[in-house]
Amino acid sequence: MAAKEKLTLEVSERVLRKKKVGKLRREGIIPGIVHGKDFEPIHVQVDERTFELLYRKAHGTSLVNLNIGGKDTQVLIHSVFRDKLKGTPVHIEFLKVDPKRQVTVDVPLVFVGVSPGEKEGKGQVTHEETSIHVKCSPADIPSAIEVDVSAIYDKHDVIHASDLKLPEGVHLAHGVSEKKVIASLATARMAEAAPEAEEEAAAAAAAAEEAPAAEG
C-alpha cells in the first residue's frame, strides 16, 4: 500500500461574532471549530476553495496537519455541514487527535472482484454496507477497506464483517457485530419477493384502516 500523502491546511483563529459569519461565507470563508478530548475548543476560519481541494483527498479518514496561526495540530475532518440548496460548506468540525490514543472512524468499503454467481446469472451481488466503523491509532487509519466478492457463488455465500481483511492494527469498532452482513447474492426470486411483501403489508394496513374500531 502506498504511503499516504501528507495533508496540510492553513486556518486562522476566529473571533466569535454572529453578525460576521454571513459576511465571511459570502467572501468565500468557512467558519469552523477544532475540538477534542482534554482540548480547549478553538474557533477557526478557512478559505473555501482551499478546503474543498484538500477535502477531495482527505474526507474523514486522513490525518490533516492543521496550521493554526503558525502552530501545527493533527486533526481529522469530523463533519462538514453544507447548504442544502447550493451544496457549499457552511461549517466545518475538526477533531484533534492524540497520536497515542486510538480513534473510531468510518472507513469506506471498496468492492473488488467478480462474483461467479452473478456472472452465471444466479443473481446480483448486493452491497449491504458502504462503510464500516473501525478503531485504530491515527497513523493506522486506512483510506478504504477492500471487499473481495469473488467468493460469492450462490445465496448461501455471505460476506460478514468478520470476513473483512483489516490492516494490521485495525479492528472493528465497539458495537459493530462480526455477523453484520457486508455483501450477499440476491437471486431473482428474492428480488421479486420484496415488492410482493410490501404490497401485502400495504393491503393489510388499508384493511385495518377500513375496519370499525373495537369498543371498549
| CA atoms within a 13 Å half-sphere pointing along the CA-CB vector of 180 | 18
- pLDDT at residue number 213: 43
Q: What is the pTM of this model?
A: 0.72
Whether pLDDT at 212 is above 90: no
Q: Which residue, among 125, 104, 142, has the nearest Cα to 182 in the 3D structure?
A: 125
> Which residue is listed with cell 471549530?
33
Q: How confident is the model at residue 214 (pLDDT cuts 50, 70, 90)?
A: very low
Q: What is the rounded distance in angstroms from the CA atom of residue 24 to the CA atom of residue 88?
A: 13
Task: Identify which has the larger pLDDT, 207 or 150.
Answer: 150
pLDDT tens digits along 176-203: 999 999 999 998 655 455 455 556 655 5
* DSSP bridge pairs for 47: 29
Q: How confident is the model at residue 57 (pLDDT cuts 50, 70, 90)?
A: confident
Share of the chain above pLDDT 70, in %: 83
- Please tell me what DSSP assigns to residue 113: S
Task: Identify which has the larger pLDDT, 155 or 212.
Answer: 155
Q: Average per-residue pLDDT in the chain? A: 86
Q: What is the rounded distance in angstroms from the CA atom of residue 191 to the CA atom of residue 161?
A: 23
